[in-house]
Amino acid sequence: MTDPVSSIRNLGPAFEQACNRAGIHSAQELRALGADTAYTQLLKSGARPHFIGYYVLVMGLQGRPWNDCKGKEKAALRKRFDAIKAAAHDKGRSELEAALDRIGVIEKRP
Residue 107 in domain:
no
Cα separation of 28 and 48, whole Å? 23
For the whole model, what pTM was predicted?
A: 0.79
Residue 110 in domain:
no
pLDDT score at 97: 67
pLDDT score at 36: 97
Percent of the chain scored above 70 by pLDDT? Answer: 80
pLDDT score at 99: 66
Single-letter amino acid, residue 23 = G
Q: What's the domain count of the chain?
A: 1
Residue 50 in domain:
yes
Reply yes or no on whether the pLDDT at 65 is more than 80. Answer: yes
Q: Which domain holds residue 94?
A: 5-102
Residue 62 in domain:
yes
Alpha helices of 62-107 — where are they, by DSSP H? 71-88, 95-102
Residue 92 in domain:
yes
Q: What is the CATH number of the domain that holds 65?
A: 1.10.150.20
Reply yes or no on whether the pLDDT at 80 is more than 60. Answer: yes
Reply yes or no on whether the pLDDT at 96 is more than 80. Answer: no
Q: Which region holds residue 11: left if phi is over 0, alpha if psi is between -120 and 50, else beta?
A: beta
**Burial environment of residue 15 by CB neighbours within 10 A (0 to 12, 13 to 18, 19 or more):** buried
